[in-house]
Structure 1
Amino acid sequence: MSQSTTVWYGVNLASERLGAKALFANDDFFAPKERMLQDSDPVFIPGKYDDNGKWMDGWETRRKREQGYDYCIVQLAVSGRINKVEIDTRHFTGNFAPAAMLEACFSDGAPTETTVWTPLTETVALEGNTQKLVDIESNEVYTHIRLNIYPDGGVARLRVYGQPEVEWDGLASQSLDLLAMEVGGRAISANDEHFGTKHNLNLPGKGLNMGDGWETRRRREPGNDWVILALGHRGDIEEIIIDTAFFKGNFADACSIQVADVQNLPESTLAAQSLYWQELLPKSKLGADQEHSFKEALESVGPITHLRVNIFPDGGISRIRAIGKPVL
């Protein structure tokens, strides 16, 4: 079975589920600004209309009959460094925004008329029904972004990929989920993601349904499936939570966890090395559609940076939490 190669651009700092908010738009006559931040893929529903016209899954302004442009201000879920943005116009064909430009700022509160915005991109030409990726060359930390569209039109989704900025000094004595996406935890690789991506495992909150987790295909040969995860910060683990919510006839029957304290190693080498990592959690039974907490069963291993979660023999897991204290 080949190793997964799912593309990962970073944490979507503009994710509605993480807590991002569309604060203001000068116009959202046809479709509200909030839809643009939804984590789900945009959809098109033929024949669906509302009081203002055709229902569209995104942000859409009215046709501009004067000079100027439209814009929307978004508060990021967490402050962070931005490395890539995606401007998605799927299902917008004769009504997409022809061009866009992004600006950003760092602000303790909501931006005001005196806020100084820093350009993140040049003006980018857009096409209808496409996903436009733009690289960002900046090492600054931002809290808000401003999407300008020229002159008007619609954008289905806006993704702002980057690395959360966390003030770890103030968290040294606190127990928290070191694997949480909002503190920079992420999935690196998995041997199989046939029914659900590994990147769902550290999303916030409970899973929404069976598709909102990691699920492998039915294994028809010896062995087991696995996923490698990186903590947002090196730390001591006190509790592991494995949630199989919504997985009933297809949950992982058992799991074990191996861990390592590795830094500055190429991620492409971790899968092979992880076979020999030390054991944090011995093979333990799992049940259907429930949350499992492991504390006493955990081995004393010291600070770690990465986990390899093995599932036996295959199946699905909704969420994984690694509760512990950061080691500075």
Structure 2
Amino acid sequence: MINVASCELGTEVIYTTDEFFANANRMFAETEAVFKDEYDDNGHWMDGWETKRRRDNSNDYCIVKLGNLSKINSFLVDTAHFKGNYPLAISVKGVCAKDIDDSTFIKDIESIPWIDLLKQSDLKGDSKHNFDSICQKEITHLRIDIYPDGGIARFKAFGEICFDENLYEQENINVASMRNGARAVYTNNEFFGPLRNILKDNEAVNMGDGWETRRRREPGFDWGIIELAKPAIIEKIVVDTKFFKGNYADSFSICSSYMKDSTDDSIITQSMFWEELISQQKLDMDKEHYFEKDILKHNKPITHIRINIFPDGGISRLKLFGKFVKED
């Protein structure tokens, strides 16, 4: 599942009752929370959202706008480093409000038809908590309530991005973008950096923001499988090795397939027999590489790709430009 509440997908807080000690947007960082023995004007610096101590009978909450229309299956709530200042409980509600602007939404918060995704549940300090969502309807906004106050280091909502039907009308779009519903299915190795990183839209910020495998000490090569949101025809490929200098992949190739009904486990073995989309191509360090339509092996609709890197190493981004096509 994709963390649909990631700041990397455009998730942001549009309202909060309080964030005196720590900004609520910090909750949605993909990195693990850190502890710093530092103080600012309001108190100890904390890596997460932290409100001041309440002196009434109410509780704090924040309103979160997701980067994409999404369905949520589960939550991870992490109170790392919050030991004497964590909330006693949390609840999560959601709503689908695609056509309401932020200012109107905030003004009408109390009249919003919220749906329960997580009923009030207990929390512990300095711990990770996993909760199932009790509803998988399409959601654009979340309301996160903490009881009565305190701090949360990280908040993640795992699920799937709902496909935007308007994308069928567009051409030359990156169909391998995480924001367009692509997801990393499986990789044989991601020791230094996860495969999903290469599906981000933004430029890599450092070497740790890409996919990097360990040094291979045996024959073979490393690879990763990616599923597109819908079938697509590929017209251009971009492979970026930005920041990878002494550890970039020497070369790459991509094979592809159109699979209507399959499971993640079954396609791992099947991928050995997929048709080649682009043959093995040399890569250089710290460079963006472009491969145009004339070098691609076919222009058939595909739903999955397997990117192979030889023999190991890292790449920062993979982009597949083309268009989505409707299924038969």
Q: Same fold (TM over 0.5)?
A: yes
> What is the match of residue 13 of structure 1?
4
Seen in structure 2, the aligned counterparts of structure 1 residues 169 and 27 have a Cα distance that, compared at 3 Å, is closer
1:26 maps to a residue whose letter is T
For residues 273 and 138 of structure 1, what CA distance do their matches in structure 2 show?
A: 33
- The residue aligned with 2:67 is 77
Name the structure 2 match of 1:239. 236
CA distance in 1, matches of 2:213, 2:136: 37
Distance 1:323 1:170 in 2: 13
Deviation at 1:255, TM superposition (A): 0.6
* 2:163–2:229 contact (8 Å) kept in structure 1: no
Distance 1:263 1:120 in 2: 30
Provide the rounded CA distance (Å) in 2 between the counterparts of 1:80 and 1:253. Answer: 37
Gaps of 5+ in 2: none
The CA RMSD measured in Å over matched residues stands at: 1.3
1:217 aligned residue (183, 199, 214): 214
Q: Distance in 2 between matches of 1:38 and 1:167?
A: 25
Task: Please tell me the residue identity of whatever aligns with 1:23.
Answer: I
1:122 alignment partner in structure 2: 119
The residue aligned with 2:309 is 311
> Using the alignment, how far apart are the partners of 1:209 and 1:320 within structure 2?
15
Is 2:204–2:210's contact at 8 Å kept on the other side of the alignment?
yes
Partner Cα separation in structure 1 for residue 196 and residue 167 of structure 2: 27
Listed as ranges, the matches of 1:89-128 within 5 Å are: 89-107=79-97, 108-109=99-100, 110=102, 111=105, 112-113=108-109, 114-128=111-125
Q: Secondary structure at the match of 1:68?
A: coil
Of Structure 1 and Structure 2, the greater helix share is in 2
AA aligned opposite 2:257:
A
Structure 1 runs (4+) greater than 6 angstroms displaced: none
Structure 1 pair 255/88, CA: closer, same or farther in 2 (3 Å)?
Answer: same
Deviations 1:134-165 (A, max 9, x none): 11132311110000001111011111222112
Partner deviation per Cα, 1:293-321 (whole Å, 9 max, x = no partner): 11121111410001111111111111111
Q: Which residue of the partner structure matches residue 15 of structure 2? A: 24
Deviates more, 1:16-25 or 1:163-172: 163-172
> Partners in 1 of 2:309 and 2:7 — Cα distance?
30
Structure 2 Cα separation of the partners of residues 173 and 99 of structure 1 = 44
- Return the offset for 1:173: 3.9
**How many pairs were matched up?**
318
Runs (5+) with no aligned partner, structure 1 = 1-9
Identity %: 42
TM-score (norm 1): 0.94
Cα deviation for residue 175 of structure 1 reads 2.3
